[in-house]
């Protein structure tokens, strides 16, 4: 069977359509609640997928990502509080349209631009995934090790203004990944005599703590958000308005495609870049920031395009581009699916079934976006304390259901505390989570390579793919350090220029 037949068979013979639609609905609700990002909304579902069919589980998680990207625009437009970090740029013009009495029109633009961007992104995913999977013939154990190092280094190096902290965060994640029994020798490592740690610490526990619990701690320090009007209804854009927003939608889709393919990018960066470019090419740039429909269409198209195209590096190379795809990567490993160049050849039913489910998710988003708006507004208007308590109950019950272990709940809470301290100190969390997920793959292929070469580390340079990836690792890390030092030099004026005239005479 070809890919199209597999996708259609999955949609017809399995509950994939139900899981896709439920994921979109859940994502819209999670994205609409300020503080619950797409990654947190996905992480809340992760324990509930335990025991599910792998294809259905990943369709559910990926569809949640799709819905959350749109859901984040709802509070951004109605109460000037973005539900997700990617919706920050939507606030600029969305809230201004709300103040002008055009709330429904702004929500309609966000919805339609997102659907168009998501569908175009899925076409690109289908077109590019299979060609990229052919590189699997060139991947050996040294190449897999170098690929893991490349992904870890790139994410750490691209951490916002914190290269050293990014690498330290990744190192902590790798250290946590070594807890348990050595995969080759069977020796216990860092268990401290605790039998609960013999199987290691599952990535899902750290994700729930680092993403969900940490965010709840951060939200506890912030004031409650505003109330949204319960009478708001979505108004889909007219043909005249479509002609105006078609160019910014295309710009957002193009930038979202490139950003989704780039590890370390993510939808937040894509939304900012697309907003700036839409303003540059607009016939009415003076309206941006004052209620321009173009200022909503461009970032929303970019966000939803990233939600699709980010699957390409995640599935084919095992390198996620954001926290949301890191959760998706954790879901793949949780269900015994090792992402990488061999995923399509080993599990074609899963890959094409996932594509079919995501096409349903993007199309159903149009209907569910309209249906889910009233309950989202109702939830936004609830007291934050009630919502927080409900989320904690959901996390605790989901984690306990995995292994019926109280120790798992303590690990999640501990990870949440550590994540909160890291956030306060400016340490990025994504490198730690990614290192924890990829740590096993990196270690196994390193040990395998050393065994094959009888202890000769030159095997990593003798393999052409491995050598190329290690070169790219050094290049990107060096480039990130150089750009940061250069930026720091530009931002810090010379001492003589910074001091007022006569300062030396006064101090001396």
Look up residue 403 and give its two tokens.
């292994």
Look up residue 113 and give its two tokens.
């631009």
Assess contact for 408 and 206: CB atoms under 8 A. Answer: no
Rounded to 10°, the helix 103-133/348-371 angle is 180
Q: At residue 56, does pLDDT exceed 90?
A: yes
Nearest-angstrom CA–CA distance, 37 and 301: 18
- The pLDDT tens digits of the residues spanning 230-252 come to 667 888 888 888 888 999 999 99
Question: At residue 73, what are phi and psi to the nearest 5 degrees?
Answer: -80, -20
Assess contact for 307 and 118: CB atoms under 8 A. Answer: yes
pTM of the model: 0.77
- The pLDDT tens digits of the residues spanning 110-168 come to 999 999 999 998 998 888 877 776 666 677 788 888 887 887 776 666 555 567 788 88
Assess contact for 6 and 353: CB atoms under 8 A. Answer: yes
- The pLDDT tens digits of the residues spanning 276-325 come to 888 888 888 888 888 899 999 999 999 889 888 888 888 887 777 777 88
Assess contact for 212 and 41: CB atoms under 8 A. Answer: no
Q: Hey, which residues does 181 pair with through a beta bridge? A: 188
Distances 386 to 41, 236, 382 between C-alpha atoms, Å: 17, 33, 7
Q: At residue 22, does pLDDT exceed 90?
A: yes
What integer pLDDT is reported at residue 250 of this predicted model? 93
Nearest to 234 by CA among 145, 360, 353, 106: 106
Rounded to 10°, the helix 373-380/16-32 angle is 40
Rounded to 10°, the helix 323-334/430-452 angle is 50
Look up residue 417 and give its two tokens.
């505390």
What integer pLDDT is reported at residue 356 of this predicted model? 92
Confidence of residue 253 (pLDDT cuts 50, 70, 90): very high
| Side-chain-side CA neighbours of residue 463 (13 Å) | 23
Nearest-angstrom CA–CA distance, 42 and 422: 21
Name residues whose C-beta falls within 8 Å of residue 195's C-beta, 6 or more positions apart in sequence. none
Confidence of residue 502 (pLDDT cuts 50, 70, 90): very low
What integer pLDDT is reported at residue 500 of this predicted model? 44
Nearest-angstrom CA–CA distance, 297 and 250: 9
């Amino acid at each position: 069977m070809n890919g199209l037949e597999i996708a259609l068979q999955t949609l017809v013979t399995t509950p994939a359509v139900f899981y896709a639609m439920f994921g979109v609905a859940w994502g819209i609700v999670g994205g609409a609640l300020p503080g619950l990002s797409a990654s947190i909304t996905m992480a809340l579902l992760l324990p509930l997928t335990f025991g599910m069919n792998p294809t259905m589980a990943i369709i559910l998680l990926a569809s949640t990502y799709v819905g959350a990207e749109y859901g984040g625009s709802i509070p951004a437009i109605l109460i000037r509080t973005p539900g997700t970090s990617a919706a920050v740029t939507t606030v600029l013009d969305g809230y201004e349209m709300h103040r002008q009495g055009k709330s429904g029109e702004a929500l309609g633009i966000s919805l339609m631009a997102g659907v168009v961007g998501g569908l175009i992104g899925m076409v690109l995913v289908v077109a590019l995934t299979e060609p990229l999977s052919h590189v699997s013939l060139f991947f050996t154990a040294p190449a897999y090790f170098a690929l893991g190092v490349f992904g870890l280094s790139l994410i750490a190096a691209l951490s916002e203004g914190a290269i050293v902290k990014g690498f330290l965060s990744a190192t902590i994640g790798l250290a946590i990944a070594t807890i348990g029994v050595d995969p080759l020798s069977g020796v216990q490592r860092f268990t401290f005599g605790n039998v609960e740690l013999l199987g290691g610490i599952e990535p899902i526990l750290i994700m729930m703590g680092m993403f969900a619990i940490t965010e709840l701690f951060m939200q506890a320090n912030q004031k409650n958000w505003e109330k949204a009007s319960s009478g708001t209804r979505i108004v889909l854009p007219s043909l005249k308005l479509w002609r105006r927003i078609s160019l910014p939608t295309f710009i957002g889709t193009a930038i979202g495609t490139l950003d989704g393919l780039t590890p370390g990018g993510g939808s937040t960066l894509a939304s900012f870049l697309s907003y700036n470019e839409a303003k540059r090419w607009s016939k009415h740039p003076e309206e941006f920031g004052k209620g321009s429909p173009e200022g909503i269409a461009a970032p929303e198209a970019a966000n939803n395009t990233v939600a699709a195209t980010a699957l390409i590096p995640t599935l084919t190379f095992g390198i996620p581009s954001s926290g949301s795809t890191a959760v998706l990567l954790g879901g793949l490993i949780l269900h015994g699916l090792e992402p990488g160049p061999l995923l399509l050849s080993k599990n074609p039913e899963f890959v094409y079934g996932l594509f079919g489910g995501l096409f349903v998710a993007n199309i159903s988003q149009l209907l569910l976006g309209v249906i889910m708006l009233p309950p989202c507004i109702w939830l936004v208007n609830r007291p934050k304390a009630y919502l927080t308590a409900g989320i904690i109950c959901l996390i605790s019950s989901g984690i306990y259901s995995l292994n019926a272990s109280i120790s798992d709940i303590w690990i999640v809470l501990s990870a949440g505390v550590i994540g909160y301290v890291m956030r306060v100190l400016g340490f990025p969390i994504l490198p730690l989570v990614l290192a924890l997920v990829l740590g096993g793959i990196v270690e196994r292929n390193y040990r395998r390579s050393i065994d094959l070469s009888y202890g000769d580390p030159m095997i990593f340079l003798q393999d052409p793919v491995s050598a190329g990836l290690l070169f790219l690792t050094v290049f990107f890390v060096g480039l990130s350090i150089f750009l940061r030092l250069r930026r720091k030099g530009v931002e810090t004026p010379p001492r003589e220029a910074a001091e007022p005239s006569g300062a030396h005479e006064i101090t001396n």
